[in-house]
Amino acid sequence: MKNMRNGLKGLSFIEVLITVFIIGIIILGLVNVLSLYTDVFFFKTDERESISNLDMIMDRLARDIRQGRRVLAISTYTLTIELSTGVTHTYSLITGNDGKKYFGVDGQILAGPINEIVFSGRKDDLTYTTNAYDVRVVTFTITMADGRNMSSMIALRAEIPKVAGGVVITEIMYYPPDRDKNSNKTTTSNCQFVVLYNNSNSPVDLRGWSINGNAFSTLVSGTWTLYPGKSAVIGSSRSNLIDTYYFPLPQYATYIKTSSSGLGTGGNALPTSGTYTITIRNSLDNVVDQVSYSNTWGGYPKSTSGQYRDWYSLVRKSLTESSQDPNNWGDSQNLNFVAEQGNINYVCYCLIPKLVITEVMYLPCPYVILGWSNANQNEREYIEIHNPTYSSIDLTIDWSNNNAYCVYSTSTSNYIYYSTKWTLAPGDYAVVSSSSANIPQYYGLSSNIIYMKTNGQSLASPTYTNLPDTSFTITLLQRRREYNTPNNAYTIDYFYYSPSLGGYPYTSYSVDRYYSIEIKNLGLLGLFRRGDNYVQNVSSSTNLCYSVFISWENNNQGKRYEVYCTPGTKNSVSP
């Protein structure tokens, strides 16, 4: 050290400055190198953190999407998925307290910061879709705050159950009324039911099937074989649906009870609120159909207090659309019963109307079976009504009991005032015409046919003199009490016709053919006469009722008139 001091003392001032300068440069270089290495270290740390966050987001999304049962909602920046476990998660951008954007799950920050995340949906065929219930593949792109980005396309593996054998759920009564059709007090859990429909071309054996783990155990009516175009009504072990509702006959639906006192998981009742999943499994324990219904879809009472109390089942609108699409479900429009208890009306819409319009002759032949012409079209027109239930229906006019039945009009001017038999037994058909007609004579019908007349001059009164030949809706109504009512009548059933659907004549030089229009299938419970289902469920009759040859027609060469219809009997187009 002494030598060093002696050495420095031997340096000139300039040499000292140069030495200090060189040492400064060396120190500065060392500082810059150290700073560079520090920047590199922190950059690498940020980079690693960004990569880690990106990986975390990618892994979470990929894992959940693969486990997804269905997409509940999707938009550019938000995705909501229901997992196979039933748990629901929502993924979105969240702005933190620091003003930066983060990836969030169910409103909680998971990773970030990020610039954006973009979602899009695709169908099974990889075409883009904005309908959440069609999404089976999710594409997403994540862009981090440092500009780093990554995209992926993930398919939902826990697929929505495919329809096995074409059996689908068509109706759910999860919130039934607390009175039955006879006004008796009920236990509502015993009145719940689920309807299955065979939409395939092959019969299906329902033995060994289950609903939410509750085995199908007791055959009440019909057969264990669910034939094409038929329905099965599934009730709990304590149910008595035949006495609770106007229940469809075995030729339309079979009635099966489960081994449990409820249709829900663990034998509990189906819940009346919130979201709940109904799962049907076959004898191999494969999922046949599944519906995760909500009370917001329909089937919820409009009122449960006051003078008029209305209950509805939840019914499927289309057989071809998804069971999981809420737009494919709605309130039943089939008036099943109106029960009175004091001054209270319990009104229930479900299953099948207690009276159904099954046939309409809206453009009849000008010649009757006797060979003479009739210029008044309204005298040859008729509708056919049918009792498809286990219960006898009394149509006797009795205003105090609300069982005055009207055709088309809500006024008393078009009610059914005449009948050869006032009580329709289970399975009975009746022909209804205007007051001036004589359908049994005009069509050569058996004396055993139940024949009814309205007191109006036309089935389309009071506006029309006869049923329109283009298109029209005929309505069957049950009057309410005449006092203190918001409406004069309940709509039991209606029948829409048009030439494109059937019932329009065929004419040629030598022969003219006239047809009624008939309902094909009453075994499809639910909205079976709405929309596309209705169009496919009506057609012209194929049964030749009578034929007459008119010799003075066709320039006296004669012409044959054939009339195809089934008034008062089973429809020719019915299975």
pLDDT at 405: 84
pLDDT at 409: 66
pTM summary value: 0.74
CA–CA dist 170, 318 (Å, integer):
9
**99 burial level (CB within 10 Å; 0-12, 13-18, 19+):** exposed
CA–CA dist 232, 197 (Å, integer):
6
pLDDT at 519: 93
In 317-437, beta strands by DSSP E? 329-331, 335-341, 344-349, 356-361, 382-386, 393-394, 405-407, 416-419, 423-424, 429-433
* 521 has a pLDDT exceeding 70: yes
Radius of gyration for the alpha carbons in the chain, expressed in angstroms and rounded? 37
* Neighbouring C-alpha atoms within 13 Å toward the C-beta of 123: 8
Share of the chain above pLDDT 70, in %: 86
Range in 104-113, 352-361, 475-484, 521-530 with the lowest mean pLDDT? 475-484
Q: Tell me: the pLDDT tens digits for 384-402?
A: 999 999 999 999 877 666 5
pLDDT at 14: 72
CA–CA dist 310, 329 (Å, integer):
18
Q: Which band of pLDDT confidence, cut at 50, 70 and 90, is reported for residue 68? A: confident
450-454 vs 429-433, strand pairing mode: parallel
- The sign one gets for the Cα dihedral 165, 171, 174, 177 is negative
pLDDT at 221: 94
Q: Tell me: the pLDDT tens digits for 179-237?
A: 999 999 999 999 999 999 999 888 999 999 999 999 999 999 999 999 998 999 999 99
* 148 has a pLDDT exceeding 60: yes
Task: Give 3 or 176, the one with higher predicted confidence.
Answer: 176
- Mean pLDDT value across the chain: 86
Q: For residue 465, give both structure tokens.
A: 């003199």
Q: For residue 227, give both structure tokens.
A: 């034939």
Helix, strand, coil in percent for the chain, rounding step 5? 15, 40, 45
* 3 has a pLDDT exceeding 60: no
The 3-state DSSP class for residue 82 equals strand
* 157 has a pLDDT exceeding 80: no
Is 378 in contact with 387 (CB distance < 8 Å)?
Answer: no
511 forms beta bridges with 560
Range in 40-44, 174-178, 276-280, 306-310 with the lowest mean pLDDT? 40-44
pLDDT at 278: 96
* 484 has a pLDDT exceeding 50: no
pLDDT at 40: 43
Q: What is the mean pLDDT of residues 464-478?
A: 90
pLDDT at 485: 44
* 44 has a pLDDT exceeding 70: no
